[in-house]
């Protein structure tokens, strides 16, 4: 069972629904007989953290009491129910017998998912509730640098990391110094794939699949 979450990409943005985003792999995945496409899915909020908390707990923002980036739903939910709420990966882990792993950005990192306020070394990720092993963080700052304990040189250095060559290449293309923080979404930086968080997270996800395959064999 695989869940992919994408910041700020609506159903109308994807290629198969007439959007401008170039999504060949998602197009292929959607056409598989083993996938289900939901045509009436709606975001709980026009903001990252409350939407993720709402989707992953199956409750509305009025229940999570999360309407902004920062609060942790387990500490804010109505009637003190945060510690007993079951998240989507937690359900698979605790009640379905699944081994749950994640890479990239599922819960909003930092204090929004139980980590420290800046999300440098303890990025939260709703651990240990939702995951069977340490979550593999790979978020991104507006300056192009990826955000993870590994990139921040923490002692628990887990997650993605860019090389100095990658940072130099991204700086060369001037993708992260514009007047608006979404400039990187449209900047055609000609850098190696491993310079971008999407590729780094996808590579880690493939490694997880390969590990499962080896265990089965």
- Choosing from 48, 121, 154, 187, the catalytic residue is 48
Cβ-based burial of 193 (10 A; exposed 0-12, middle 13-18, buried ≥19):
exposed
H/E/C letters for each residue in 95-131?
A: HCCCCCCCEECCCCCHHHHCCCCCCCCCCCCCCCCCC
Distance between CA 81 and CA 17 in Å, rounded? Answer: 38
In the residue annotation, 25 being an active-site residue is answered as: no
Helix (H, G, I), strand (E, B) or coil at 212: helix
Q: Quick check: is 34 catalytic?
A: no
Q: At what angle do helices 88-95 and 48-57 cross, to 10 degrees?
A: 30
**Which of these is catalytic: 108, 138, 160, 195?**
108
- Tell me which DSSP letter residue 155 carries: T
Residues involved in catalysis: 48, 108
């Amino acid at each position: 069972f695989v869940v992919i979450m994408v910041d700020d990409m609506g159903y109308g943005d994807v290629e198969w629904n007439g959007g401008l985003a170039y999504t060949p792999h998602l197009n292929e995945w959607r056409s598989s007989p083993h996938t289900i496409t939901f045509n009436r899915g709606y975001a709980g909020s026009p903001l990252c953290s409350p939407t993720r908390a709402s989707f992953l707990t199956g409750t509305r923002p009025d229940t999570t009491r999360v309407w902004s980036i920062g609060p942790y739903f387990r500490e804010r939910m109505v009637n003190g129910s945060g510690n007993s709420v079951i998240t989507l990966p937690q359900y698979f882990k605790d009640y379905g017998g699944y081994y749950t792993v994640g890479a990239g950005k599922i819960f909003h990192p930092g204090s929004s998912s139980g980590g420290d306020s800046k999300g440098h070394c303890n990025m939260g990720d709703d651990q240990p509730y939702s995951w069977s092993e340490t979550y593999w963080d790979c978020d991104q700052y507006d300056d192009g640098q990826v955000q993870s304990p590994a990139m921040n040189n923490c002692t628990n250095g887990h997650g993605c990391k860019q090389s100095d060559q990658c940072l130099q290449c991204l700086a060369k293309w001037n993708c992260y110094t514009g007047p608006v923080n979404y400039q990187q979404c449209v900047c055609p930086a000609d850098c190696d794939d491993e310079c971008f968080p999407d590729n780094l997270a996808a590579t880690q996800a493939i490694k997880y699949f390969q590990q499962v395959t080896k265990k089965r064999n």
